């Protein structure tokens, strides 16, 4: 009887351990998939440049997209460019995410600007930034990352001094926050460095637009098009007639905030807001007046 009870207890303990391991593996796999989904996308600091003008930040866009990579881990191409000149790339890197004990490690590689898609997928073209890895952990509903300044450093071109870099990152479904601090070899912080401070990047959502315009005193609706790319971070976009390429007097913008987005239409002649409304962030936006018909359909990426 005692042996049977002991065997039963051992079986229960073993089952509990195995169940815990299975649950842990399942949870880890789910977290990994969430990290991969949140990691990719377009992010911009445009709202921070508006609300914190004293920081004199330049509006930029960070584009992070998966690379076709055959080995273990998940590779991403990261490009940073000026928001209003998105083809002018400032920085280009490859990130390699790998599962490690207790979290994930993001290795960082520099790549030449002229490399094509096939060359970018070849690790022999990656130049490793040794010591500048980011260690990620899942905590309180978001991912937290850290880069150790005792291991990550470079030599400043202006005077050859060694500069170390410390980073703390937070990644949620719709935002990326990066706090960085650079140090000289004497452990002196570089307070006025571009690498000092906290940078807030919001995930960008883009819109396909169907726009029609009718001139006063006429019955004909004419096709119009956007001047630029419309996203949900508040940058105004103009409208022009598709045939004549004539710019119209209207601009509009979409600004996301939590689960809501604000649509605003502006009349440049009167320098006034013609219309404002709030919709769900994933809702189609529709507007019609005597002179304008607008339908904006959200999409995830710029390239869709």
Domain segments of the chain: what residues?
41-203, 206-299
C-alpha–C-alpha distance, residues 229 and 201, integer Å: 18
Topology of the domain covering 41-203: Lipocalin (2.40.128)
HSE on the CB side for 216, CA within 13 Å? Answer: 2
CA 155 → CA 151, 178, 192, distances in Å? 13, 22, 17
**Contact 276/262 with Cβ under 8 angstroms?**
yes
If we measure between CA atoms, which residue out of 91, 67, 88, 89 comes closest to residue 77?
67
pLDDT at 20: 39
**Contact 296/285 with Cβ under 8 angstroms?**
yes
CA 66 → CA 40, 95, 143, 178, distances in Å? 7, 9, 18, 21
Look up residue 48 and give its DSSP letter: H
Mean pLDDT, contiguous 10-residue spans, the chain (304 residues):
41 36 45 94 94 90 90 92 91 94 94 89 92 94 92 82 90 94 76 73 95 95 95 94 93 91 91 92 94 93 64
pLDDT at 149: 80
DSSP three-state, residue 159: coil
pLDDT at 29: 61
Say which residue the tokens 């920085």 belong to: 91
| DSSP helix, strand, coil percent of the chain (3-state; round to 5) | 20, 50, 35
């Amino acid at each position: 009887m005692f042996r049977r009870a002991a065997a039963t207890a051992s079986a229960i303990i073993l089952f509990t351990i195995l169940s815990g391991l299975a649950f842990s593996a399942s949870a880890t796999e789910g977290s990994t998939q969430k990290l991969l989904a949140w990691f990719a996308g377009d992010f911009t600091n445009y709202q921070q440049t508006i609300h914190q003008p004293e920081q004199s930040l330049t509006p930029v866009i960070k584009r992070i997209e998966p690379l076709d990579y055959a080995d273990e881990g998940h590779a991403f191409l990261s490009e940073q460019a000026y928001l209003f000149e998105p083809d002018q790339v400032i920085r280009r890197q490859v990130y390699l995410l790998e599962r490690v004990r207790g979290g994930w490690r993001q290795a960082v590689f520099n790549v030449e600007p002229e490399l094509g898609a096939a060359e970018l997928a070849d690790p022999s073209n990656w130049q490793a930034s040794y010591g500048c890895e980011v260690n990620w952990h899942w905590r309180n509903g978001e991912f937290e990352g850290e880069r150790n300044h005792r291991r990550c450093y470079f030599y400043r071109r202006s005077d050859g001094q060694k500069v170390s870099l410390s980073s703390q990152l937070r990644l949620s479904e719709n935002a990326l926050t990066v706090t960085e601090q650079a140090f000289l070899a004497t452990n002196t912080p570089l307070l006025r460095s571009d690498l000092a401070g906290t940078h807030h990047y919001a995930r960008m959502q883009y819109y396909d637009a169907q726009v029609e315009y009718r001139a006063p005193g006429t019955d004909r609706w004419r096709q119009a098009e956007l001047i630029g790319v419309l996203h949900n971070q508040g940058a105004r976009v103009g409208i022009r007639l598709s045939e004549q390429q004539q710019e119209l007097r209207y601009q509009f913008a979409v600004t996301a905030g939590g689960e809501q987005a604000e649509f605003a239409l502006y009349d440049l002649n009167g320098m006034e807001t013609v219309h404002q409304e709030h919709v769900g962030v994933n809702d189609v936006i529709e507007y019609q007046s005597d002179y304008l018909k607008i339908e904006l359909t959200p999409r995830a990426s710029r390239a869709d």
